[in-house]
Amino acid sequence: MRRIVVHHPNRRQFIATSGMAVPAFLVPQRALGDDRITVEIDSGKLRGSRDKHAIAFKGIPYAAPTGGANRFKAPQPVEAWSGVREAVRFGDRCVQEHETFGDAPILAWYAQSEPFSENCCVLNVYTPATDRGRRPVMVYIHGGGYVTGGGGGEILDGSALAEFGDVVVVTLNHRLNVFGYLNLGHIDTESFGDAANAGQLDLIAALRWIQRNIAVFGGDPGNVTLFGQSGGGSKIMVLMGMPAAKGLFHRAINMSGTSGMNVAAAQATEAYVDTFLEHLGIDKSGLRRLQQVPTDKLIEARLAAVRARREGSRPVVDGRHVVGGPMTPQALPLHASVPLLIGTAKTEATFYFADDVRHMRLSERQVRERLKAQFGIDDEKAAALMASFRRDDPQRTPSEVLVALITNTLFRLPMLQAAEVKANAGQAPVYLYNFVWKTPVAGGLWGSPHTVDIPFAFGTTDKASALLGTGPETLEVSKNLMSAFVAFARSGNPNNPRMPAWKPFDAASRATMTVDVQCRAVNDYLSGDRTAAAAVRLDPFNRAALMTYKD
């Protein structure tokens, strides 16, 4: 892993103005070796390993295995162990059907290799030192919607970020798809009332573990920042509407996670659940049989229910654990004092086209036909819609227009709307960014796709060269993004010497920081796209016409 070092004309001035503690690599240390480090937490002793960046403790259980009688239940306590538990390998990933983002070579960098099992409530801790230094704690929640993903792998290795910012980094796994989000409460609330949001309850269990144990690793339980990309950011937003999560984290960073902005009512998923049970041949009076069904059969039934109902696994407002979407009057008081940093990538939608490059070479006619099929409009209105997404950039190709439409309607506009509600509440600041650095791979064809900012946030850009290339720019952009995230984790304010003054978001200025090699502060960034997106209604569960290639 590439060593990340901050260069400033006046290092002492940088530390004072950013509010950061002196990063571990800027002060004298003993030589970092290959040695093992042992600590003791509330369930037993752990032995981690030190590398050139930080000390890592991997695969630590924060809840008991979730199979058998624990399936579809709230997470249960970990059984204490005797002796010293080796914590040098990632734990199992939670059961899911996909292992990567897709088949495109540019997306292969996110792959993780750990097996799937129901013994997956594990986390990983990366720390500069186990000296009870009370460092800010940065907890990453992985993406993959509510269906796939994991907190392991070399891209999510928190060592470089821990060293760079002198922070403690935590990554974790939690239950997914039907194992974590299956609304059985309308059938049997007493026995399975927790099933609808079990994945979220796992996250709360992990945060409680952090409160009890993170001081052992040099972290401050009173200064915990959540950050997550895509589904991870969405899960963070859902946590904001959960009373049990209040006080377990103190700041939040949402990277392109918009599905958590509007949490569905429990009733919305009932038909999907009923279809799932029908596929398994399980009567509503026999739900306990679900706890003995093989995991592959549950995954198969989930996929059948998704196809039939165009619905899937996601958290719901159950009146039990989730009181409302994060920006509703019911949930806003729960996170009134929590500063929020949110943002999107400039061309999120190119991610969805990476498996078929033809999507990026569409003609004017092909895009109009997609718009007509998706929105039920005529040729004239389709042409007008395309024109509206060329206000900010008249030279956009037809494919770039399509990318702008999907990016802004599904990602950027929901972020802006959430930022406005939070800012109007006036109790904690909101900061908005747009990640605009353009990958040079394939001649810049993919722009700034969904997920591109993950390796920049972790300082692991050298592990994602298939998407990012190998030029020197990636290191500078990574320093910029990590500096902002670390500053925010320390104080709730992302301002740092690597960027111009970054003002909080408000509805009048819509202040935005563009993240690039040279960052810029812009008011009402891409206002034309914002206006055009506000006139479009795109169902995130039904966008097939926009995504299907036809000659």
Cβ proximity of 276 and 186 under 8 Å: no
Give helix 379-388 / helix 527-534 axis angle, nearest 10°: 150
Could you count the other beta carbons within 10 Å of the beta carbon of residue 188?
15
Cβ proximity of 260 and 173 under 8 Å: no
- How far apart CA 377 and CA 396 sit, in angstroms, is 22
User: In this structure, what DSSP letter does residue 250 have?
Assistant: S
Q: How far apart are the first and last CA of the chain?
A: 44
Residue 479 Cα distances to 17, 316, 449, 486, angstroms: 16, 37, 19, 10
User: In this structure, what DSSP letter does residue 465 have?
Assistant: H
Residue 250 annotated among the catalytic residues of the structure: no
Residue 53 annotated among the catalytic residues of the structure: no
DSSP-assigned letters across all residues of 251-288: EEEEES--GGGSPEEGGGGHHHHHHHHHHHT--GGGGG
Name the pairing type of β-strands 93-94 and 116-117: parallel
Distance from CA of residue 343 to its chain's centroid?
11
- How far apart CA 289 and CA 69 sit, in angstroms, is 10
Residues in the chain: 551
Amino acid at 279: H
Residue 348 annotated among the catalytic residues of the structure: yes
Residue 251, helix vs strand vs coil? strand
The angle subtended at Cα 96 by Cα 91 and Cα 98, nearest 5°, is 105
Active-site residue identified among 400, 450, 478, 483: 450
Q: Which of 117, 107, 1 is CA-nearest to residue 52?
A: 1
Cβ proximity of 314 and 235 under 8 Å: no
Active-site residue identified among 348, 359, 400, 478: 348
Active-site residue identified among 18, 43, 159, 230: 230
Active-site residues, by number, are 230, 348, 450
